[in-house]
């Protein structure tokens, strides 16, 4: 099994969170640092937290939670608006014939999940923040279901998300996609590399395989003549590169420490296995948006388990 690759700061040192946040490279930094004491208390470990006198603890934490709830609500609202606007842009580009429907759909597949994960560090250190983040893919899953079942008819939305322009399609690949983002948010959130690696490979890797495979094509795979070497190699390369970018992004934001030598090997192995799974002729009964993240999560749990 792999050696210690990634260690959450909280597991190593009792009070590191504000130090991590000092290297936080984003616009929300002043807001976070003003609440330094609160962040230390709630964002570190409950063990340390429970050693505080009860009255002081309640006071600090209730003010922290109220402040963080406002910040989290703002991030959730930005996510709702961002997702709506982003899909609308692709809808307009499709309408104006700037992008063909298949490419527009794949660009949405590649970009939305990656942008969603990039939003995670903007949420507060509250233990509830992941549930605020969860509201974003859940709201989009609801939008897909409502349109997919025909309860609402948003033609632009259906056109930019579906392959053939039929509403029923939204209930398959796109719906699974939103569910996978939701599950990774709840189960892994930002102090684990497992979920973000699975998302990077599902969004970036699998999406790019389609874009490159359709355009370059060329020699087909021996075990699946619908897929090409060009598609699979680009899936491996982009899945790997985007996963490494996420590890860098979240480690420099202070969520965990990375031992790069073993982390790179772990991510390469996960990307390779996910690429092999994507290449198998099984998408008729198991959608790529389930098989690829499932394989990545299982392997990620095994490889990163010593350091969780």
Ligand X SMILES: Nc1ccn([C@@H]2O[C@H](COP(=O)(O)OP(=O)(O)OP(=O)(O)O)[C@@H](O)[C@H]2O)c(=O)n1
Ligand Y SMILES: C/C(=C\CO)CCC[C@H](C)CCC[C@H](C)CCCC(C)C
User: Which positions touch ligand Y (CB under 6 A)?
Assistant: 79, 82-83, 86, 105, 108-109, 112, 115-116, 119, 136-137, 140, 144, 161, 173-174, 177-178, 181, 289
The interface partner of residue 231, options being ligand X, ligand Y, none and the CB cut-off 5 to 8 Å by kind, is ligand X
Binding residue for ligand X (CB under 6 A) from 126, 140, 262, 279? 279
Q: Least CB distance from residue 41 to ligand X, whole Å?
A: 45
The interface partner of residue 132, options being ligand Y, ligand X, none and the CB cut-off 5 to 8 Å by kind, is none
Nearer to ligand X, 234 or 266 (CB): 234
Q: Least CB distance from residue 20 to ligand Y, whole Å?
A: 23
Burial 156-166 (b: 16+ CB within 10 A, else e): ebbbbbbeeee
| Contact between 288 and ligand X per CB under 6 A | yes
Alpha helices (runs of H) in the chain, residue ranges in sequence order: 9-12, 17-22, 29-34, 36-43, 46-49, 54-95, 101-119, 129-148, 155-161, 173-187, 193-200, 206-215, 229-252, 260-279, 288-304
The interface partner of residue 119, options being ligand X, ligand Y, none and the CB cut-off 5 to 8 Å by kind, is ligand Y
Bridge partners, residue 224, by sequence: 221
Residue 103 — left, alpha, or beta (φ > 0 → left; ψ -120 to 50 → alpha)?
Answer: alpha
Nearer to ligand Y, 112 or 124 (CB): 112
Binding track, positions 202-221, relative to ligand X; x by CB under 6 A: -------xx--xx-------
Of 225, 31, 203, whose CA–CA distance to 111 is shortest? 203
Q: Least CB distance from residue 167 to ligand X, whole Å?
A: 15
How many residues are present in the chain? 308
Residues whose CB is less than 8 angstroms from the CB of residue 157 and which lie 6 or more positions away in sequence, other chains included: 87, 91, 143, 147
DSSP 286: S
Using a 10 angstrom Cβ sphere, with 0-12 exposed, 13-18 middle and 19 or more buried, the burial of residue 12 is exposed
Query: Please, what is the Cα angle at 286 between 170 and 136, to 5 degrees?
Result: 40
| Contact between 296 and ligand X per CB under 6 A | no
Footprint of ligand X on 123-182 (CB under 6 A): 163, 173
Residues whose CB is less than 8 angstroms from the CB of residue 62 and which lie 6 or more positions away in sequence, other chains included: none
Among the listed ranges 23-31, 229-237, 242-250, 300-308, the one in contact with ligand X (CB under 6 A) is 229-237
The interface partner of residue 226, options being ligand Y, ligand X, none and the CB cut-off 5 to 8 Å by kind, is ligand X
Q: Least CB distance from residue 256 to ligand Y, whole Å?
A: 23
Q: Least CB distance from residue 159 to ligand Y, whole Å?
A: 11
The interface partner of residue 32, options being ligand Y, ligand X, none and the CB cut-off 5 to 8 Å by kind, is none
Nearer to ligand X, 40 or 210 (CB): 210
The number of beta carbons lying within 10 Å of the beta carbon of residue 214 is 14
Q: Least CB distance from residue 245 to ligand Y, whole Å?
A: 17
Q: Least CB distance from residue 290 to ligand Y, whole Å?
A: 11
Binding site for ligand X (CB under 6 A): 163, 173, 209-210, 213-214, 226-228, 231-232, 235, 278-279, 283, 288
């Amino acid at each position: 099994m792999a050696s210690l690759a990634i260690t959450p700061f909280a597991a190593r040192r009792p009070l590191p969170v504000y130090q991590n946040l000092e290297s936080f490279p984003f616009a929300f930094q002043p807001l976070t640092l003003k609440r330094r004491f609160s962040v230390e208390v709630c964002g570190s470990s409950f063990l340390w937290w429970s050693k505080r006198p009860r009255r002081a603890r309640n006071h600090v934490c209730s003010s922290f939670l109220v402040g963080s709830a406002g910040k989290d609500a703002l991030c959730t609202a930005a996510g709702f608006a961002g997702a709506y606007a982003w899909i609308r842009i692709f809808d307009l580009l499709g309408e104006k014939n700037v992008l063909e429907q298949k490419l527009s759909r794949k660009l949405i597949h590649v970009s939305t999940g990656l942008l969603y994960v990039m939003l995670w560090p903007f949420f507060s250190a509250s233990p509830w923040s992941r549930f605020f983040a969860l509201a974003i893919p859940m709201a989009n899953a609801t939008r897909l279901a409502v349109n997919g079942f025909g309860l609402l008819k948003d033609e632009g939305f259906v056109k930019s998300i579906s392959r053939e322009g039929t509403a029923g399609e939204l209930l398959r690949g796109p719906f699974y996609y939103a569910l996978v983002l939701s599950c990774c948010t709840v189960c892994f959130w930002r102090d684990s590399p497992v979920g973000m690696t699975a998302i990077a490979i599902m969004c970036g890797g699998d999406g790019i395989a389609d874009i490159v495979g359709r355009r370059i094509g060329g020699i087909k795979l021996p075990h699946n003549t619908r897929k090409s070497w060009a598609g699979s190699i680009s899936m491996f390369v982009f899945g790997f590169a985007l996963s490494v970018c996420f590890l860098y992004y979240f480690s420099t934001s202070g969520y965990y420490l990375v031992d790069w030598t073993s982390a790179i090997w772990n991510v390469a192995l996960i990307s390779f296995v996910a690429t092999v799974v994507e290449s198998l002729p099984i998408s008729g009964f198991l959608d790529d948006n389930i098989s690829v993240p499932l394989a990545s999560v299982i392997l990620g749990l095994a490889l990163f388990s010593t350091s969780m």
